[in-house]
Every structure is written in structure tokens, then in C-alpha cells.
Amino acid sequence: MKQPLFTPPDTPASKCFVCGPDNPRGLHLQFHQQDGDRITAEIDPPEEWIGWDGLMHGGFQCLLLDEVTAWTVTGLLGREYCMTTTLEVRFRKPVRLGQKLTLVGQIIKTTHSGSRVRGELLSQDGQLLAEAEARIVHAGEQRFKRILETAP
């Protein structure tokens, strides 16, 4: 069963480029909890995301994989305050633009302080195009604010 997850409007996260409802130039990507053990989303990437000869630029693939892994921690573990510390991406096949892509995230391991999460980018026919493993730190609201204060 698919259960939608939402970024609340008028919050610090609501301007997120990928999922924020208050970002007028954002993607407004909608994530769903699927069968209780994974997070999914679908996207039809715009032609402007071209890197070379009809292929999706790898940077946009990284952006989507980072977002699905973070939403996996938020959606499955209820951790509202979390941050990616490491994102290791493997590009398996070129990603042709002009097709609907599916993002999938699953928890690999979790502790009280963080999680390891797998993210996948799948073609419209289910082929694995890119995958990532992310390390995501769990932070309470106060710790999250302290981390943000260190940004130059």
C-alpha cells in the first residue's frame, strides 16, 4: 500500500528544491511509504537536465538519490531532523531522458545516532540505472540547529 509523505508548507523545509511545496522553481516531488519498508517517488525529468546526447546529467541523479535516502529516514523512522554526511553513488547505466523514473529507498542499518540507507534510480521498465549508499546522521531539533549555525 502506498502512503503519501508531505513536506508541510511554511516551514524551513518547505522551500526545498526537490520536495518543498513553497519553492516556485522546485520539483515538488511527492514521496510515498511503500509496504512499510521502503520509500518511493516517480519523476519525469525535464529535457533541461541533459548532460550529453539525450542523457541525464549525473549531478541530477545524485540529487535525486540524496533526496530519496533522506526521505527514507524521515518516512520510515520518523526522524524529522537528519542530514546526509556521505553519499556514495554508482552509475550503472546511462539514463535516457524522456522516460518516467522511479526512486526507491530502503534502510540498510540504523542505530540511535544514524542510518545507512540504499537508494535506487530505476528506469520505467525497472532496470537499475544508478544506486547510492548514504550515511545519514539523526539529529534532534536542537542539534540540527547547532549544525546549521556552523554553515559559513
Buried b (16+ CB within 10 A) or exposed e, 1-37: eeeeeebeeeeeebebebbbbeeeebbebebbbbeee
Query: What CATH number does the domain containing 111 carry?
Result: 3.10.129.10
Overall domain count for the chain: 1
In-domain check, residue 12:
no
Q: Using one digit for the tens of pLDDT, what is the confidence trace for 10-53? A: 887 889 999 999 999 999 999 999 988 999 999 999 999 999 99
pTM of the entire predicted model = 0.93
- The domain in which residue 128 lies consists of 31-149
Q: Is residue 15 part of a domain?
A: no
DSSP state of 19: T
Q: Please indicate, yes or no, if residue 24 is contained in any of the structural domains.
A: no
In a domain? residue 40 = yes
66 lies in some domain = yes
Environment class of 85 (CB within 10 Å of its CB; exposed 0-12, middle 13-18, buried 19+): exposed
Which residues of 8-122 form beta strands (DSSP E)? 31-34, 38-43, 50-52, 55-56, 82-91, 101-110, 114-122
Residue 11 located in a structural domain = no
Residue 22 located in a structural domain: no
